[in-house]
Amino acid sequence: MEYHDSEKAKEVASRVEEFMEEEVLPREREALRTGNRISFDELEEYWQMAKDRDLFAPQVPETYGGQGLDFRDMLPSFEQVGRSLFGALSIRANAPDEGNMHTLEIGGSEEIKEEYLRPLVQGEKWSAFSMTEPMGGGGSDPKMLRTTAEKDGDEWVINGHKWWSSQAKIADFLLVMARTDPDAHPYEGSSIILVPKDTDGVEIVRNYPVLGGHGILEEELGHAEIMYDNVRVPVENTIGEEGGGFRLAQLRLGGGRLTHCMRYCGMAERSLDVAKAYMAEREAFGSQLKDKQALRHRIADAETKLHVARTASRHAARELDNSDARIEVAMAKTFTANVTNEIIDLAVQCCGGNGIAKDLPLAHFYEDVRAFRIFDGADEVHRRTIARDAFDDLKPEEVEHVLRFNEPRR
């Protein structure tokens, strides 16, 4: 299928695909078959291989050790790494670090970039984005944000309670969203503040159990609950403008939603590859599964929807160059999240017992993909945005001649 990606995007994605096929997927299959999980030392070996092939951190400017690809040019590579359980990690294009790199790049001071961004890119540091709060605080409605940061001289004093801070367990620093002006609307009175994890008052309460997330790494990254109790950091640790946290977060999340879309499109493509290969070999009731008309029609529908998801994501990426593309991104994210859920569910069904066994990656994909309809904005939040825009431009003349109730004369 031709998506009219640039020649640069196609060339890099082709080399990423080769890296996945030659190095990453064989190790993944071996890990699934034997239980011999991938260590952090091995990850560093993959990073070196990616550097040797000029594939490392495609989303980061060359100044900081990445490949410096334009946003649209890197999306096809993100689709390729999404085909593997650790593909994104293998080239340092994994969430949340990938989004945090972008946040530091556009909002960090030169000192912050040297101390945190450069080592983050190289894998010498790990990061977490600490925005979501437990029930009663900020979640799908970010206006409910309750974590605060108050100035005391040249320091912020942060107090709050967060959860869903992905990979905080191993993170060296946290990007914390907090209310810095209680009198302003949260969208204008909140800031992102960099907090080293070893700062006094930061307590990683636990990594709580969630659906999926088991993967094939030796040490699972997980999602953490965190308490911030009178945490003091310099005001200079503010990322971007004071009070501009939500604007910066939208820049992070808009592109992040699309990189997630592409990674999950890759996951859906791999799931279909597994299912079709299985169906071509598996026989039942006198013929191969691939020749059963009902399944063929479902595969055809899946291929069609995946094509539309890829197209919508690329279109939204183009629009991001000219605007915040809020509606286009919301549509792409919601549609892709649901389509990838459907496709992976279908692949599991087509493979029967082998679909839910973990010799194949499908069961891991199945557990991981469900969260995509919640993180980076739940389906309902994006649909609210889309619907609000849909009703902004009404055409009352279209119903001018509808017959309306006429009160009878009395």
Query: Tens digits of per-residue pLDDT, 29-74?
Result: 999 999 999 999 999 999 999 999 999 999 999 999 999 999 999 9
pLDDT of residue 295: 97
Euclidean distance between CA atoms 139 and 162, whole angstroms: 10
Please identify which residue in the block is written with the tokens 């991001």.
Answer: 320
pLDDT of residue 14: 97
Euclidean distance between CA atoms 106 and 100, whole angstroms: 10
Integer angstrom CA distances of residue 124 from 48, 53, 119, 170, 393: 13, 20, 5, 12, 50
Euclidean distance between CA atoms 316 and 321, whole angstroms: 9
pLDDT of residue 246: 93
Residues of the chain with pLDDT under 50: none
Tell me the three state secondary structure of residue 228: strand
Cβ(261)–Cβ(333) below 8 Å: yes
Q: Give me the phi and psi of 324, to 5 degrees please.
A: -75, -10
What is the token pair recorded at 132?
A: 């979501």
pTM, two decimals, is: 0.93
Report whether the peptide linkage leading into residue 96 is cis, meaning its omega lies within 30 degrees of zero. yes
